[in-house]
A and B are shown apart, each in its own frame.
Chain A
Amino acid sequence: MTKTIDAVDAEQPVKKPLRITELLLSVLAVAIGSGAYMLSGLGMDQPLEAHYWIQLGVMFALAIAFHIVIRLRAPFADQYVVPLALALNGLGLAMIHRLDLVPPGTQAANNQLLWTVLSVIISMALVWFIIDYRHMRRFTYVWLLASAVLLLLPFLPFIGMEIYGARIWVNLGIGSFQPGEVAKLTLAIFFASYLSANRDLILLAGRKIGPLAFPRVQDLGPLVVAWLVAMGVLIFQRDLGSAVLFFGLFMAMIYLATSRLSWIILGLVAVGAGGIIAINLFPHVEARIDGWLNAFDMDMIYAEHGSHQVVQGLFGLASGGLFGSGLGEGRPDLVFAANSDMIIASLGEELGLVGLTAILLIFFLLITRIMRIGLSARDAFGKLLAAGLGCAMAIQIFVVVGGVLRVIPLTGLTTPFMAAGGSSLLANWMIIGLVLLISHTANRPMQAGPMVNASGIGAGTSVPGQPVEAGERK
């Protein structure tokens, strides 16, 4: 064969990721999750009945199915993302099941298992059916519209629901759904698509004031959109956590796109202004911050909307100590929302500092993998999308865990993959699906095809052998 362009350019052949690593790690992850599930039953003096084995079988089947789907449709995808997510999902299921067993007993774990199956299937469907994720960037404003619709759904009559003062749920008849969780995804796609198209414009235009280059006023559009979304969520939905998440996502993504410090400064000014307005206008925001600063104040603990929940969580964590009380042997049920917002405190109590650190490390590893995928992506859209989704997850975990540990005020965000609630699970597994697609596209080898622009105007000016990816999926 002649020495062709691809032979010149692809000096270092792409190493195919080891799929067997993924399989083994997935099995280990299922073993951890379902082991914890059984152990929590044993700790609560339950006999190991059929449903424990069914749970194990379902999780195992999901792991194997995902592995097969990746082998068939995205063989170059990252091999760590799925096992890490499976481990977190399994541990969450175990803790939810353990809290179900507290008399009078609930059925949240079965529901969660159902949602897990559904979410993983949807995630697999994304990997299977999306031929090229880069097509998503064409519909920039459709994603913005979708985000707006999702965020407005809870305000519709009949299906909108208000729970504990936050209007972020919709009633689907079969259960409640939190559309804001999915909006996180659509907003990330919108920002990635907008910024990958307009990045250069935002970067080039602008005034320089001192060492900082500020953008033009007309380029502030996306910032205004993000700020409005965050403030709207805060004011109308009374959901501080989501507001922080949406705005943090935007800030992270625009900083990733432009690496301009001025955006962070502008954003912080906007947040400061919004925060002052919110504290002065809305009593619930002020109460939250008050309850955070004076959490251990006796009056505050027993006040309505007081700090009882956080303080109970902290006592739970303290009683867990280094190695934890063991699954089923502590009292995490004393905390309000122990299986959703406060699941980190529940896990910390029963698995101890050692276990909680491992869980946080798994989150950390998952985020580093997603960031790594962002780094390896070849197109700006994929880079921004992966990195943005990673940042969103990082922000979400910081807000939740920080809230539970009283580093920041407690807000009602879900712990990804762990907290009871289908919408969060669905959104996060969809993120996994997208990230797998991005990494598959990034890692698969390039192959130079025949020149398309054979002759005529502009011939010879185009890059010869414009890469055409091998293994193009049909």
Chain B
Amino acid sequence: MSELAITALRFGLLALLWIFVFTVISSQGRSLQIARPARLTRRKKKTDQDVSSDTPPPPTRALPTKLVITEGPLAGRTIPLNGQPLLIGRAQDAGLVLEDDYASGRHARLFPQGSRWFLEDLGSTNGTFVQGNQLTRTTPLEPNVPVRIGKTVMELQA
């Protein structure tokens, strides 16, 4: 091969090397960025008024304290929670005993975590429904959201 062609290839190789380097750098783009720590403090002066008007009030941080039964044989009953996990079911040792053929012995479990209550279905036969949707896994339960087990409907209240 001619001298000229080899010289051209030589510089071509160097160019290719740098193209490789720059391709790697440019295609990395934002993947080199490390996730910014979440901003904890609200921007003060500017949004002071907007917060009150536009956005809904920040969720109450306090843990709801009672479970109110709204429908079913036990309607009107209020169960104080005291921040303790509650077992719901037909079994006699359950925290909330349901006299209901459609409830399983150990039907569901309500337990606190941080500032929220979580509802877990313990493999019941007929399922646990939150707002009409059957629970498939542990779910945080907000106050005033109806939960149906068998014929009983209940909700958390502050």
Residues in A lying within 8 Å of B, measured CB to CB: 1-5, 8, 17, 21, 25, 28-29, 31-32, 35-36, 39, 42-43, 80, 83-84, 87, 323-324, 326-327, 351-352, 354-355, 358-359, 361-362, 365, 368, 372, 375, 448-451, 454-455, 459-460, 463-465
Contact = CB atoms under 8 A, between A and B. Distances in A.
Given A42-B6, A326-B10, A464-B113, A4 B136 contact: yes
A464 B140 CA distance: 9
Interface of B: 1, 6-7, 9-14, 16-21, 23-25, 27-28, 31-32, 34, 85, 87, 106, 109, 111-113, 118, 120, 122, 130-131, 133-140
The secondary structure that dominates the A interface is helix
A82 to B, nearest CB: 12
A4 B120 CA distance: 11
Nearest to A355: B14
Contacts of A28: 16, 19-20, 23
B112 A21 contact: no
A32 B111 contact: no
Contacts of B31: 17, 372
10 contacts: A1-B136, A2-B133, A29-B20, A32-B13, A35-B13, A43-B6, A354-B18, A460-B112, A464-B111, A464-B138
Contacts of A361: 21
Given A4-B137, A36-B13, A362-B24, 17 more contacts: A1-B136, A2-B139, A3-B140, A5-B140, A43-B6, A80-B24, A80-B28, A83-B24, A87-B20, A326-B7, A361-B21, A362-B20, A375-B34, A450-B120, A450-B138, A463-B113, A464-B113
Nearest to A454: B122
Contact of B138 (A358, A362, A448): A448
B14 A354 contact: yes
Contacts of B19: 28
Nearest to B111: A460
Contacts of B130: 2
Given A87-B20, A354-B14, A455 B122 contact: yes
Contacts of B24: 25, 80, 83-84, 362, 365
A17 B29 CA distance: 12
Contact of A459 (B27, B111, B131): B111
Given A3-B139, A5-B140, A450-B138, A358 B6 contact: no
Contacts of A323: 10-11, 14
Contacts of A324: 10, 14
Contacts of A42: 1, 6, 9
